[in-house]
Structure 1
């Protein structure tokens, strides 16, 4: 899995194989190379920026954006220059199955007509009161769509496949670093510059605080009576940290193998076991198992059986490590104390119970239950924020799309990624295997992880890599 083959280069702005860029076999100027030079994203002379700078800026500098309090807000900001470049370089090519993604976006917009509706068993609210949260999701979905099209339409010399893989691999290093920070300095946090510029009324809102307040971990009572820091940096939430860890690890591995940095990969992967276990993130553990089995099976079908033996050996090593170290006690305690299971089951059943009131288009957004699991009179408070008023649609992408955007939006959303898995199934390159594994893992994560914002960004970048790596892009 060390081959980072670029795939067949498409026509137009990408240079043709078999001769130097800028020349054809007869020595004349290559129109494709000229077009590539003209369509290269440019920056002002006084501000030298690398080619494809919006994507490089988002991925390479994400720790900086997190520290500044921009975090996921960087995607809408960078969508502006990316969108402008797309408008200047029409016609815009779209990936296979893009019609399904457009249908999902239409479902997101169409479902907003139900924002004023109050399903049974939920807290009252108004159309206008729910608009800020919906507006945030609409803007982020639109921004990530621009990111997908921008990366897919960039000339390959401007953004090579290897460079994009390296950037995603770098973010895995950042994720592991943030995880280690969360384990050893779980209470570390600070006020970001963006946060300090906001009025106190906005800064005190939980949703706004989650966007602009950097923290190493989420401190949560998992076992009952004991607060435990669970790694979250730089992704805001422990669940998002676990989801991104699973989506990014494959890119780091193939980058390390392709660049002959296998010892670096081995050391970092061993170190990553610590935050993976201390995150107490069962969804992450399941996702890693799904990814390992999927990749081993794909390679075995190709006649390469060593991954199966490697999977067995890794399982044995992890088993021994858990048996002889305190990490095993922590895993056993997490399995035995599934404190969140009842809450997850409750909100899932409530979401499914309310869906028949608006099955096709959903309710436009999430809702909060009017009470708790045991009584409608129980609600959240400053002393017990998790006692009631649970969010319907907040416990997994599947439940959110169903509840907020109905059956139409759900089928379109997951149909897009499912089509991508099928459409690019014959891509046997390292990039193709890892990207398809990302899409497969997203289906296992849909039951307990919400994808917006950064997990969905990485899923769409994996889709773009598959698209650019295939003959379908020609």
Structure 2
């Protein structure tokens, strides 16, 4: 993440044309358009294909040590297709496989595009994405019953559009709310994602990045309105009543505070404590504690999740190597499908114990590799990788959460960038 001086140029330096920024920016900055069209994160598959074309056309694709862990996971995931037993599940498997391949390409693109996708630029794009998420959260708070029938439903053939997952994409809702449900629960904003948990996962992973970007733009006009946006964002964030998000943000706060204490950075620590004070005031001002208590007492989601996790583990013991290829209906009445309430459980149930070891092993490796980062951006990215490790236990992080994690990993792993797009190669290559 540090620039090298021209004096370091030598025989091991290769001149490359910089990769364009637009495919990366289009994924996140134009996300409101993708959401309104009904495509959402699915459009990232097409944009990842463009990235792959640009990478191959330029040639000399570099990759970091440790990526083999992730590549082995992709191979294992592909083999587990033999566990698929229905056409609908095959559609879901193919879609998830394409998303896994897409985030892999995003990783390689960011890793190889250091000359054009600078750390500051990437943080800025992800900050725009965070603002989009906050705006979607406010729409969910103000218009909880709003639903949008997207153009996607007009072009898909009936056999595909009848799939339950595809139906959720065709009709976009801005909150998770059922006014006719037997348990009278408050609406929880979810736009621009399908589910509130997806909103909370993305918000909690992006907030450290937003704060790091604030440090990058100190002294600029955008600093002040972005600083104001953080407390403003707490309204929809708190109203999601998302316990997993609260846990992720709390973990990030404590982790960064400990790192700052160890480094003796008192000024940054005071800033972090000021942010914590703002959060505490917002929590006390908004009716969060009352709503959260009501949700816990009126809903059995915690007990249901525990039972589902136990069922996922027990049934994986019957197919420990390759799993079942995809989530399956629960053996308990009215329970969600097994493998849908947490990424680690979905990977374990769908791709077996080796699959989950490889998946979590890659995230753990990325976190460990990034611990060495000392600058504000590096610390934020390292924190993001810790948060995704923990939130994978109870959140499905496909696709935004996993994409953010892969971007964070790419930024912390990529080699130093020289002026004019030159790279000093220390690592392996393929293509």
Is this a same-fold pair by TM over 0.5? yes
Question: CA 1:225/1:105 → structure 2, altered by over 3 Å: closer, same or farther?
Answer: same
- Unaligned ranges ≥5, structure 2: 418-423, 427-431
**Secondary structure of the structure 2 residue equivalent to 1:391:** coil
Distance between the aligned counterparts of 1:462 and 1:469, measured in 2?
Answer: 14
Question: Are positions 1:211 and 2:169 aligned together?
Answer: yes
Partners of 1:88 and 1:322 lie apart in 2 by 51
Identify which of 378, 382, 387 aligns with 1:432: 378
Structure 1, unmatched stretches of 5+, are: 1-5, 10-15, 42-50, 116-125, 373-386
Cα distance between partner residues in 2 of 1:358 and 1:201: 30
Distance between the aligned counterparts of 2:296 and 2:275, measured in 1? 21
The equivalent position to 1:57 in structure 2, one of 20, 26, 49, is: 26
- Decide which of 348, 353, 365 is 2:314's aligned counterpart: 353
Aligned to 1:420: 366
- Deviations along 1:252-306, one digit per CA (max 9) or x if unpaired, are 2222232234432332111111111111111011110011111111121111134
Paired with 1:97 and 1:327, the residues of 2 have a C-alpha distance of 42
Question: Does the aligned pair in 1 maintain the 2:12–2:425 contact within 8 Å?
Answer: no
**How far has the Cα of 1:333 moved from its partner?**
2.6
Is 1:149 aligned to 2:118, yes or no?
Answer: no
Choose 180-189 or 264-273, whichever is displaced more: 264-273
Residue 320 of structure 1, CA deviation: 4.4
**Matched residue SS, 1:366:** coil
* Aligned residue runs from structure 1 range 291-302, under 5 A: 291-302=252-263
Residue 317 of structure 1 deviates from its aligned partner by 4.6
Partner of 1:447: 393
Q: Is 1:327 paired with 2:296?
A: no
Matched, 1:105 2:66: no
Given that residues 93 and 325 in structure 2 are in contact (C-alpha distance below 8 angstroms), is that contact kept between their aligned partners in structure 1? yes
Are the structure 2 counterparts of residues 149 and 165 from structure 1 closer, same or farther at C-alpha, using a change threshold of 3 Å? same
CA separation of 1:86/1:323 partners in 2, compared to 1, >3 Å: closer, same or farther?
A: closer
Instruction: Tell me the TM-score normalised to structure 1 length.
Output: 0.81
Deviates more, 1:80-89 or 1:134-143: 80-89
- Separation (CA, whole Å) in 1 of partners of 2:95 and 2:287: 42
Instruction: Mark the CA change 1:302 to 1:31 in structure 2 (over 3 Å): closer, same or farther.
Output: closer
Following superposition, the deviation at residue 337 of structure 1 comes to 4.0
CA drift of 1:314 comes to: 4.5
Shift of 1:412: 0.8
Q: After the TM superposition, which of the residue ranges 62-71 and 223-232 deviates more from structure 2?
A: 223-232
**Do the aligned partners of 1:427 and 1:470 also contact (CA within 8 Å) in 2?**
no
3-state secondary structure, aligned to 1:190: strand
Q: Is 2:57 aligned against 1:88?
A: yes
TM-score by length of 2: 0.89
Tell me how far apart the structure 2 counterparts of residues 97 and 275 of structure 1 sit (CA, whole Å).
Answer: 38
> Aligned partners of 1:100, 1:398: CA distance in 2, in Å?
16
Q: Which gives a bigger RCO, structure 1 or 2 (Cα 8 Å, sep 6+)?
A: 2
Partner of 1:133: 92
Q: Would you say the 8 A contact 1:169–1:252 is kept in 2?
A: yes
After superposition, what is the alpha-carbon deviation per residue over 1:325-362, rounded to whole angstroms, capped at 9, x for unaligned? 43332233334444311221121111111111111222
Q: Distance in 1 between matches of 2:200 and 2:89?
A: 28
Residues 222 and 232 of structure 1: is their aligned pair in 2 closer, same or farther, counting only changes over 3 Å?
farther
8 Å Cα contact 1:223-1:339 kept in structure 2: no
In terms of Rg, which structure is larger? Answer: 1
Higher helix proportion:
2
1:59-87 deviations in Å (ceiling 9; x for gaps): 22111111111211111111222111222
Matched, 1:366 2:327: yes
Indicate the RMSD between aligned Cα atoms, in angstroms. 2.7
CA distance in 2, matches of 1:301, 1:369: 47
